[in-house]
Amino acid sequence: MNSSDLQTILIYALPVIFAITIHEAAHGYVAHHFGDNTAWVMGRVTLNPIKHVDLLGTIVMPLFLYFATKGSFLFGYARPVPVNFSQLRNPKRDMIWVALAGPGSNFIQALVWAVLLVLMAASGVEERFFIQMANAGIRINLVLCAFNLFPLPPLDGGRILAGLLPRGSAQEFLARIEPWGFFIVMGLVLVDIVSIWWLRPLMKIGFDAINLLLTPLILLLR
């Protein structure tokens, strides 16, 4: 590992830890709000990253992929927060809010990193490390937000789709493919379908939304 690789890891480490920790805690908090105490009782509704980090998915796999692909492809995951959807007060409706909580938290984090970037620029901060970290925070969170919204279980988008679909054959189909959903998504990622037809369009929408929301602050600081 050279100094450039080490600096890249340090730049991304904090945004990644915040991104996955708040994402998972948000799922648990919203589930608790709507009546399911599973994650709450297990101590998973917390901002302690140790509770959410998966050794293989959060550390080993991303590092391996970073060095194996020279940074061109990264993937990782945290320990999913357990949710017992049958315990929700209105399972079909509430599962949508529980699923949305994770990607929603990532969009909010991207916005917060963008605000920090604007404030640093307005304050004359030119330290490259902090500027790159803020940019990394924006990009990582928009990637996580968009990727998790992909409408296939076990991703959050699959849960949202299941909640929106009427009960019947469509929901049963989603339930049948869920055990294979992860492998299907990875296959679509490897052939660039997810990237071209899902991630890039949604991330562009995310960047445009952040730019729009930041416009008043930018005008105020001029």
Catalytic residue ranges:
24
CA distance 120 to 65: 32
CB 23 within 8 A of CB 78: yes
Find, among 15, 74, 43, the residue nearest to 199 by Cα: 74
Q: How far is CA 54 from CA 21, 49, 168, 172, in A?
A: 11, 10, 35, 30
CA distance 137 to 204: 16
CB 26 within 8 A of CB 105: yes
